[in-house]
A and B are shown apart, each in its own frame.
Chain A
Amino acid sequence: MMEKTQKTNWVLTIVLVLGTVTVFFPLYMAFVIAFKQPSEMTNDVAGALALPAHFSLENFRQAMEVTDFWHSLGNSLLITLVTIALSILIHSIAGYVIGRSMAAKKSFRLIYLYIVSGMFVPFSILMMPLVKQTAQMGLGNRAGVILLYLVFYMPMNVLLYTGYLKNIPVALEEAADIDGASTWKTYWTIVFPMMKPMHATVAILTALGTWNDVMTPLVIMSGTGQNTLPLAQLNFQTQFGTNYNLAFSSYILALIPILLFYIICQKQILNGVANGAVKG
């Protein structure tokens, strides 16, 4: 294919750069608070937007100590990464099977609706029975949380994968079938790699859901002595007082890994196209 260098659209660039104010302004406030002392907190606008009196990483150090940062981060990473890996493997093939059969077979159309409608069950109604069920099955731990995430995000991910497949022509698979390859093999060698942009998208969206989640680990893992970052961050809030300064430094620390992960995944979404995997 001929590589055409397109002209940069400067007007659009400027508009989008200006738009980042809507993100940078709140983010600036968060940063300033993360560096301040509680005694610098105030209700007047100028004071709140002012830079902290001293810049020191002391708040961050304390926040890391209070949350047992490396340990909690390890748990959060473990849970999120395993969930993502399993989601990509299991949900993609489920999405493929459903997506390719749904048009012709009523049974798969029903399965599709059944799974997707699972997305709309309010967590509150599931919570109590799940707590009991996981405890009885010996899953009141990190493995249980991962398993639950796999189920919670299945509807969304199946929806995403089936939607994406609509734009991927079946011709390639049919060719492989004619060559005598098994469906299993065709899937893993041809279809799976072609869905790379969607894998990256699923990875981001699943990570988004799991990284900040408090409720599931709180009710499932409590008492195991294991904390995820959001659980450890509850330390900054008690019933009648919140240490916003430490909390904000901790939240900013927790933001970095997922932001990096997002940037990596973004590259994958684009690379998928550069490889010429998806072409009509």
Chain B
Amino acid sequence: MKSKMTNRDKTFWAVIIPVLILFFAFNTLPMIKGMIYSFTNYRGYGSYDYVGLRNYMDLFSDARVGKSYLFTFKYALAGTVLVNVLSLVMALGLNSCIRFKSALRGIYFVPNILGGLVIGYIFSFIFTYILPAVGMAWDIGWMKNSFLASEKYAWIGVLVVGVWQAVAMNTIIYISGLQTVPQEVYEASMLDGASKWKEFWSVTFPLVIPFVTINLVLSTKNLLMVFDQIMSLTKGGPAQSTESISYLIYRNGMDGGQFGFQSANAVIFFFVIVAISIFQMTIMNKKEEQL
């Protein structure tokens, strides 16, 4: 650095250092401790031995882990697209000139606050009884059997519920993003006679790009870490076709005796998500700069 620290810099460091210490103490430090367990056969209690890289080697030969990665990525990819498109559309709708605005915003928020037990019971009932009943009545083949009982389609059932819940949160972020788009910009473009579609792509979208980045990162992360929906809808079934990575880490690491092995799984998973997110942020940053 050329010059002495300015006052502004000093204040900045004075703020950020305590924050970093706090973050290190309760996030990074326990993570490092957890990583150490990934080299052991620790069960979560009692004595344990160091087993070197065995857990990591096993990880790559474990068919169940491989399957959970496939499921999770399929789920997250489809989910991210659906969640972001739907929530942006919802946000635009809820932010435009409509009646009952507050009430509608309130209603669409509800899915995100329903507890797992409620979600599990209601949606299981819908998939198990209501949809097949509708399928029978109208003779729609694919609806006659419960989605959740089919190895092939259970993930779609979980996805529907996951998206239904996630849209609320991402809509909120998009709505607050839309608040930063000055009204004048709209008005100006209206004078130009720009069509709604063009207005969105040329005026609104570039301005909310930072929020697209946030939402992409957050929704990808939430969907990759899918857990609650699996717990309440399928418990990983049928035939282990909906075991997500987080589900496996929790179930076998906490409930089962595989704490060490699943810690290794968690470490790898962590690096995978970080890589994905950094990739997303870099791409989006370039986009932001272009516009």
Q: Do chains A and B touch in the complex (CB under 8 A)?
A: yes
Q: Which residue of B lies closest to A211 (CB)?
A: B113
Given contacts A20-B108, A26-B122, contact A258 B113 (CB under 8 A): yes
Separation of A127 and B253 alpha carbons in the complex (Å): 11
Given contacts A98-B16, A129-B33, A159-B218, contact A118 B27 (CB under 8 A): yes
**In the assembled complex, how far is the CB of residue A120 from the closest CB belonging to chain B, in whole angstroms?**
4
Whether A97 contacts B26 by the Cβ 8 Å rule is no
How many B residues touch A, CB cutoff 8 Å?
A: 92
Return the contact of A9 from the options B97, B118, B253, B273 (Cβ within 8 A).
Answer: B97
> Does A151 make an interface contact (CB < 8 A)?
yes
> Does A57 make an interface contact (CB < 8 A)?
no
Number of A-B contacts (CB under 8 A): 246
Whether B270 contacts A122 by the Cβ 8 Å rule is yes
Contacts of A126 in B (CB 8 A): 27, 30-31, 34
Binds B, one of A64-72, A74-82, A267-275: A267-275
Q: Which residue among A124, A128, A198 has the maximum number of chain B CB atoms within 10 Å of its CB?
A: A124
> Does A60 make an interface contact (CB < 8 A)?
no
Binds A, one of B5-13, B55-63, B151-159: B5-13
Chain B interface mostly helix, strand, loop or mixed? helix
Whether A115 contacts B182 by the Cβ 8 Å rule is no
Whether B179 contacts A278 by the Cβ 8 Å rule is yes
**In the assembled complex, how far is the CB of residue B13 from the closest CB belonging to chain A, in whole angstroms?**
9
Whether A263 contacts B176 by the Cβ 8 Å rule is no
> Does B85 make an interface contact (CB < 8 A)?
no
Binds A, one of B73-81, B140-148, B167-175, B235-243: B167-175
Q: Mark A160-197, 1 if CB is under 8 A from B, else 0.
A: 10011011100000000100001110000000000001
**In the assembled complex, how far is the CB of residue B171 from the closest CB belonging to chain A, in whole angstroms?**
11
Q: Which 4 A-B pairs have the closest CB atoms?
A: A129-B30, A125-B34, A129-B33, A167-B180
A residues in contact (CB < 8 Å) with B: 1, 4, 6-10, 12-13, 15-17, 19-20, 22-24, 26-27, 29-30, 33, 43-45, 48, 90, 93-94, 97-98, 100-101, 108, 111, 113-122, 124-130, 133, 147-148, 150-152, 154, 156, 159-160, 163-164, 166-168, 177, 182-184, 197-198, 200-201, 204-205, 208, 211-212, 230, 233, 236-237, 242, 244, 247-248, 251, 254-255, 258-259, 262-263, 266-267, 269-270, 272-273, 278-280
Instruction: Give 14 pairs: A residue, B residue, CB < 8 Å, sorted on A.
Output: A24-B107, A45-B129, A98-B16, A121-B266, A124-B249, A125-B267, A129-B33, A151-B27, A154-B27, A163-B213, A205-B169, A251-B115, A273-B183, A280-B184
